[in-house]
Structure 1
Amino acid sequence: MASTLVAVFCSLLAMAQNVDRPNILWIVSEDNNTDLIHSYGNAFATTPNIDKLATEGVRYTNAFSTAPVCAPSRHSLITGMYPPSMGTEHMRSTYPVPDFVKFFPRYLREAGYYTTNNSKKDYNTIDQLETWDESSDKATYKNRKPSQPFFAVFNLGVSHESSIHIRQDSLRHDPAKVPLPPYHPDTKEFREDWAQYYDKVETMDQQVGQLLKELEDQGLSDNTIVFYYADNGGVLPRSKRFMYESGLHVPLVIRLPAKYKGLSPHKAGTTTDRIVTFVDFAPTILSLTGIKIPQYMQGKAFLGTQQQPPRDYAYGFRGRMDERIDMSRALRDKRYRYIRNYLPHLPYGQHLIYLWQAASTRSWENEFRAGRLNEVQSVFWKPKPAEELYDVVADPYNINNLAGKPQYEKVLLRMRKDNHQWLTESRDIGFIPEAILYQRAQRAESLYTQAQQEKDMDRIIETAEMASSRDVKHLPEIINRLTDANPSVRYWAAVGCTVLREQSLVAKESLLKLLADSEMAVRIAGAEALYNIGEKQVAVRALGESLKSDNPFARLQALNVLQTIGDDALPALEQARSLIPADPKLEDYNARAAKTLIETVPNR
C-alpha cells in the first residue's frame, strides 16, 4: 500500500512539474538569410507569418550560424560546440564526437520531455539514435503522453538551395523588379533565380503559418516557446558557403508566452541586438527547461534561468565545401565583420558541382570569362585577400574591404588579435590538413580529444598565419619550418611558399625534399609550391602519384591542386579518370573533383 501511494505521489509530482515546464517548438527553414525576410527590412520579401510572429515575440538582429552551410552549422546546434574544436568543420564528414558529448535533446528526453524531429538531421557526425522519441517526416508532438512537455523540431526544406535548380513554369515575384545585390551581374538567369527563391521563401513562410496555426488549434500556444530561424544563409552564389553577412547572418524570432516572460530579458514585440550564435542554442534550451547546462558546452545561454553575459563576437568558420578545399575564419561584432583567409591563393569561386547547378552561377562565370563584369562583380573569381574587414552598417553587402585602410588599423589589429585568441583557446583542429585528420580519426580518441592534447597547436596556427599573410618578411622562417618535426607545420610552410609563388624560389631544395615526406598532405603541398616556382614536371608527376593513395582526402587534395593548373594537368587525367565509379550512385567527392578536372582541362 505504501509503495502504491509513493508511486501515485511521484506521478502527480511529475505531472505538476510538467505543467510548469514549457514546450519548445523549433521551426527551422533552410538556406535563407535575413535579407529574405520582410520584417528584417526587405519590402520585396513576402513573409507575413514570420513578420506576425516577430510582433508577438522578439526579433534578434544579430543572430548567426557558425558556418555558412548546413551540416557543420547543425553540428553546432545539436551539440553546443564549435565544429573546429570537434574535427567536424568540413562539409560533410562523419568523424565521431567524444562519448561525453550528447546531442542536447537527449538531456530533455531524460528529463521527461517528448522529443521529435521532422525530419532533417545532417549533424556532420555519427548519429545518436537515442536523442529522439520520433525522428521522421511523420514525427509530431501529438504522440506524447497527456501533460508531457515536448521539444519538437520541424525542418522546412522548401527553401533549400536545390529549389532554384529547376525553373518554375511561373513566378509570383517579378524578375524585373527583383532587387539585385551589387556583386551580382544583371542577367536573366540571376533575376529568375532570385525571383524563384523569393517564391520559395514565401512558400516556406506559409508553412510557418500552418505550424503556428496547428499549435493554436491544439490549445498549446500559451504553453509553448517558439523559435523560428534559418540554418544558414543563402542561396544564390556568394551567400551559402561564404563568410559574408549573406552566408552567416540568419533570422531569429523567439516568442515566449506571457507565463514565461520572466525567462527573457526582452519584451514581446521588440528587437534586440544581442549577438547570439548557434552554439548558444543548446545551452539556451536547457536553461529554458530548467536542466543544468553541461560544462563542456562552448555556447552561452541567452534566455532562461542560467543566462550568461552577452558575447562580444559571433565566430564563424569555413572548411572544405564538398569537393573543394578552402579555409577561412571570421569574427563579427555589432559593427564589423573580420574574415581571415588561410588559402588566399584560391579564388572564392572554385568550381563546385552542386553550386554550379544554379543557372545564376553558370551565368556569372560566363560573364566573367567574357569580360563583362565590373570590379565588384569580378572579385568572386579572383584570389582572395589574406584579411577582409567590413563595416556591416555602412556596407551590408560586404563589398568595400577596409583591411588596408589606415583609419581602420586599430579595428583590424583588435579583431586579428581576437581571432588568434579564439583559434588557440578553442583548440581549432581545422588547421590540421584533413588527410592527416582522416588518419587520426582511426584512433580510439576522438579528434576533439586529440585537439586538446596537441602540444604543437599554437605553432601550427602561427605557421598558418604566417603562410597566409602574403608577407615576404616571413619567408626565412617559413623555409625553416619546412623541416619542422610536426607535419601540419610543414604543410603550412609549404602553403606559404605557394602563396608567395616566385618569391619562394629560394626554397626549391627544401621543397623537393618534401616530395618524400612521410605525410601525403605535406607531399602534395610541396608539389603545389614547386609547380608555382616553375618546377612543373616534377610537381605534376608527384600529384599524379598522389591520386593512387589509399587516403581519400589526400587524393582530394591532389585533385584540387590539379584543378588549378589547366593543361599542365593532362599527364594526371588517366589516373583521375580511375577515381570515377561506373555506378553514379557510388560517386563521392573524389569522383566529383575528378569529373570536373577532366571536363575543364582545355585540351583534354
Structure 2
Amino acid sequence: MGHDLTRRNLLGSAAGAAALAAAGPVRAAATGQARPNILWLVSEDNNPFIGAYGDKLAHTPTIDELARKGLLFRNTYSNAPVCAPSRFGILTGVYPESCAPANHMRAQAQLPQELRTYPELMREAGYFCTNSAKTDYNCDVDPEKIWDGQGDEAHWRSREDKSQPFMAVFNYQTTHESRIFKPTTGRVTPEMVSIPPFLPDTPGTRQDFASYYNLMEKMDGQLAERLAELEADGLADDTIVFYYSDNGGVLGRSKRYCYDEGLRCAMVVYAPPKWQHLLPGRPGSEITSPVSFIDLAPTVLALAGARQPAYMRGKPFLSARAQPQRYAFGMRNRMDERIDFQRTVTDGRWRYIRNYMPHRPWGQQQAFEWLAKGYQEWEQAHIDGTLNPVQDRFFQPKPFEELYDLAADPHEINDLAASPEHRATLAELSGALDAQMLAINDNGFLPETMPGEGWSESRDTALYPLKEVMALAATAARGKASGLGALRRAARHSAPVMRYWAATGLLILGEKAASAKADLQRLLADNEPQVRIVAAEALTKLGHADEGVEVLVALAASGPWQVRLYALNALTYIGRAAMPALEIARATQNDSSEYIKSAGKYLKLRLTDAYTPQTTIFDYEGLMRKIRAGNGPG
C-alpha cells in the first residue's frame, strides 16, 4: 500500500487526518519479510454500495483508493445470506450445509476433531493471529483457543516478536442490520436515493436506504483509521489488505434471502509492490469471475505457504496461477425463527434458485427483520392492497425454480425458469447445483435434531441416503399430482428423512393428497417429531384439524427448542385452526429462546387479531445489550 496510498486517502477526510495525526510519525518500513502480513477489514451486512463499484451516491474514499491500487472483485459472494453460517464457512473452509446445523441461523454445530480452523493452521505456519472482536461462528469452537488474541483489544501490536508475520482481523459492526432501525443522518438524504422496483417507495424504505449510505461512509472512515495504524507502525509495505463484507445487505429482500442483494458482497484486495506478483491481475483492475467466501481460508493459507486440508472445498484466488472459477454457491435454511430451504448458484451472469419449501412465502414475518421501517411499510402496503404484482410477490408462495439474467435484470424480477429459450441455461445451472450438493454432502434436507444431522452421521447412507433424498425432495417441492405415488411409498421408508420429505410433499400437494389421508394419519405416530409436525399440518389442510392440531400443540409445548419452533411455525400457517395453541403461544414469552419467544408472540397476536406490521415483537433493548457485549445477531 505504501505511504502514498494511506496518506492521500486519510487526509481526504477530517476523521482520516485526525487518525493519522493520532497514530504518530511514520516510521521506516519494516525490513523485508519472507511472507506477507495479512490484514482483514470486515464490515457487516452490506452490498457494494461503494464508489469503486460504480455507485455514484456512495462516499467511500478509503475503499475506492484500495481498489484503485489493488484488485476489485466484481462478483464476490457469501455462501449464506446471513452472518453465522457465512462465518462458519470462512472459519473452516467448509460449506455450512456440510456440517449441520451450521447451515441454520444461530445454531451450535459440533465441529469434528478432524476439521481445523484457518487461524489454527495459520498459527502452526508461524503467524501471529488476532481477531477483534466478533466471532459468531455457528459452532462449538472456543474463540479464545484458536486465536493468539481475541476480543476488542486484539491487535497485531500485541505480538512480542515484531518480526513475526501476522494475520489480523478487524470486524466493523457500523453497517450491521440493527443500525438502520433508527435513522442515521448524513451526506445522503431520503429524497436522493433510488428504490428498486420490487420494493414500494415509502418514507421508511427511503430512510433505510439513506441511513445505509451514511453508515457506509462512517464505516469507510473507520477503515482509514485502521490503515493509519498500519502506516504508523511501518508495516504497510509488508501487508496485504483485504476489505470485504461478511454477507449481503440489510435492505428489503436482501439479508437472509438468496438473491444477489443477500449474497453479493464487496471485496477489494491491495498488495504492496513487493507482493503484487501474488495477484491474478494488474493493480487497479477487476476480477469478474465468481469468488466466494469458501475461498478465503485456502487463499490465506496459500499466502502463508501452508498446506490446504483436503476438506476445504475452496481454491486460492490470490496467485498469478489462480484459475477463474465458474460458479459460486449459496444457501438458506432456518433464518431466525422461520424455516425455509433454498439453494442457489450463480456464474456472475445468471442466478438459479431452487426452492424446496415453495409453500412458504419469501416474506415470512421475522421479528428482528421487521424492526426496520421498510419491512413494516412493505407488509402494511401488502395488507392494504396497494402493491403492484412485482412488489406483492414477496408475500406469495414460491415456485420450485427461479432463473434470472443478472445483466438484463439486475433486480431479479423477471423469472425465466419457465422460458423455453433459456432451458439449456436452466439445465446447466441445475446440474451444477445437484453436483455441488452431492459433492459436499449437503445436510440441508435434515430438519434440526433429526438423526443423520452433522458431519459424520450424515455420511451414514442408512440414515441419510442423499441422492435418494434429493430426488424425493424435488418431487415433493414440484407439487405435481403425478408424484403422489412416490410420496406415498416414501412415507414407509426406513430413513426418517425420507418420511419427512414424503410428508412435506403431501403438505405441498394439499387437497390433491386427499387419497393419502391414511398415510398421514400413520405418520402422526412416527418416531420422529419433525415427521409428525409436517403430517399434522398436512392433515389440518385436508380438513382434519382436530387430529393435526392436537399433535402440534403437544410438540409446541415441550421438547427441544428446535422441534417446538417447527411446531409453532406449522401452527402459524394453519390460521384459525390453531386457536387451541393460544395458551401455549402466551406461555412462550417466558422461554429462554428468543426464537421461541418471537414465533410464539407472533402466533398469539395473529390468533387474537392484535397483529400489525408495526407491532414490536423482538426485544430491541435486549438486542442492544447483546450487541454492546459483542454477541448481537449476525
TM band (smaller chain):
over 0.9
2:594 maps to which residue? 588
1:177 maps to which residue? 192
* Deviations, residues 166-202 of structure 1 (Å, cap 9, x unaligned): 234x443110111111111111111111111111111
Report the AA paired with residue 47 of structure 1.
T
* Deviations, residues 134-185 of structure 1 (Å, cap 9, x unaligned): 11111110121221111000101000000011234x4431101111111111
User: Separation in 2 of the partners of 1:272 and 1:146?
Assistant: 34
Q: TM-score w.r.t. structure 1 length?
A: 0.93
Of 242, 257, 261, which residue of structure 1 is paired with 2:272? 257
Residue correspondence of structure 1 range 108-123 to structure 2 within 5 A: 108-123=122-137
Instruction: Give 3-state SS (helix, strand or coil) of 1:32's partner.
Output: coil
Alpha carbons 2:32, 2:238 under 8 Å: kept: no
Alpha carbons 1:460, 1:488 under 8 Å: kept: yes
2:605 maps to which residue? 599
User: Separation in 2 of the partners of 1:501 and 1:17?
Assistant: 71
1:7 maps to which residue? none
Of 188, 192, 196, which residue of structure 1 is paired with 2:207? 192
* Deviations, residues 191-217 of structure 1 (Å, cap 9, x unaligned): 111111111111011111111222122
2:521 maps to which residue? 512
- How far the C-alpha of 1:18 sits from its partner, in A, is 8.4
2:63 maps to which residue? 50
- How far the C-alpha of 1:121 sits from its partner, in A, is 0.6
CA RMSD of aligned residues (A): 1.6
User: Separation in 2 of the partners of 1:81 and 1:328?
Assistant: 18
**1:77 and 2:93 correspond:** no
User: Separation in 1 of the partners of 2:526 and 2:557?
Assistant: 16
1:155 maps to which residue? 171
User: Separation in 1 of the partners of 2:118 and 2:339?
Assistant: 30
User: Separation in 2 of the partners of 1:406 and 1:534?
Assistant: 38
Report the AA paired with residue 595 of structure 2.
Y
Instruction: Give 3-state SS (helix, strand or coil) of 2:241's partner.
Output: strand
1:553 maps to which residue? 562
- How far the C-alpha of 1:485 sits from its partner, in A, is 1.0
User: Separation in 2 of the partners of 1:548 and 1:136?
Assistant: 38
Residue correspondence of structure 1 range 236-385 to structure 2 within 5 A: 236-304=251-319, 309-385=323-399
User: Separation in 1 of the partners of 2:261 and 2:339?
Assistant: 21
Runs of 4+ in 1 over 4 A off after TM superposition: none
User: Separation in 2 of the partners of 1:377 and 1:206?
Assistant: 35
- How far the C-alpha of 1:482 sits from its partner, in A, is 1.1
User: Separation in 2 of the partners of 1:38 and 1:507?
Assistant: 57
* Deviations, residues 550-600 of structure 1 (Å, cap 9, x unaligned): 122111111001111222211111123233317xxx343222211111112
User: Separation in 2 of the partners of 1:533 and 1:225?
Assistant: 60
Alpha carbons 1:424, 1:461 under 8 Å: kept: no
Alpha carbons 2:356, 2:477 under 8 Å: kept: yes
* Deviations, residues 49-70 of structure 1 (Å, cap 9, x unaligned): 1111100100001110000000
User: Separation in 2 of the partners of 1:110 and 1:433?
Assistant: 36
1:10 maps to which residue? none
User: Separation in 1 of the partners of 2:570 and 2:275?
Assistant: 55
**1:454 and 2:471 correspond:** no
User: Separation in 2 of the partners of 1:30 and 1:588?
Assistant: 22
**1:469 and 2:484 correspond:** no
User: Separation in 2 of the partners of 1:458 and 1:142?
Assistant: 50
1:3 maps to which residue? none
* Deviations, residues 54-105 of structure 1 (Å, cap 9, x unaligned): 0010000111000000000001111011000011100011121110111101
Residue correspondence of structure 1 range 515-534 to structure 2 within 5 A: 515-534=524-543
User: Separation in 2 of the partners of 1:598 and 1:431?
Assistant: 29
- How far the C-alpha of 1:334 sits from its partner, in A, is 2.7
User: Separation in 1 of the partners of 2:585 and 2:558?
Assistant: 12
Instruction: Give 3-state SS (helix, strand or coil) of 1:240's partner.
Output: coil
- How far the C-alpha of 1:453 sits from its partner, in A, is 2.5
Alpha carbons 1:463, 1:493 under 8 Å: kept: yes
User: Separation in 2 of the partners of 1:230 and 1:125?
Assistant: 21
* Deviations, residues 262-290 of structure 1 (Å, cap 9, x unaligned): 21221111001121111100011000111
- How far the C-alpha of 1:602 sits from its partner, in A, is 4.4
Instruction: Give 3-state SS (helix, strand or coil) of 1:394's partner.
Output: coil
2:146 maps to which residue? 131
Report the AA paired with residue 197 of structure 2.
P
Instruction: Give 3-state SS (helix, strand or coil) of 2:588's partner.
Output: coil
Instruction: Give 3-state SS (helix, strand or coil) of 1:99's partner.
Output: coil
Instruction: Give 3-state SS (helix, strand or coil) of 1:127's partner.
Output: coil
Report the AA paired with residue 477 of structure 2.
S
User: Separation in 2 of the partners of 1:603 and 1:479?
Assistant: 37
Of 18, 21, 40, which residue of structure 1 is paired with 2:53? 40
Alpha carbons 1:323, 1:589 under 8 Å: kept: yes
Q: 1:387 to 1:602 in 2, by over 3 A?
A: farther
1:13 maps to which residue? none
- How far the C-alpha of 1:127 sits from its partner, in A, is 2.0
Q: TM-score w.r.t. structure 2 length?
A: 0.89
User: Separation in 2 of the partners of 1:18 and 1:548?
Assistant: 64
Report the AA paired with residue 363 of structure 2.
G
Consecutive unaligned residues in structure 2, runs of 5 or more = 1-29, 611-634
- How far the C-alpha of 1:603 sits from its partner, in A, is 4.5
Q: 1:171 to 1:264 in 2, by over 3 A?
A: closer
2:438 maps to which residue? 424
Alpha carbons 1:435, 1:552 under 8 Å: kept: no
Alpha carbons 2:537, 2:574 under 8 Å: kept: no
Alpha carbons 1:29, 1:155 under 8 Å: kept: yes
- How far the C-alpha of 1:17 sits from its partner, in A, is 12
**1:491 and 2:508 correspond:** no
**1:164 and 2:173 correspond:** no
Query: How many residues are aligned here?
Result: 576
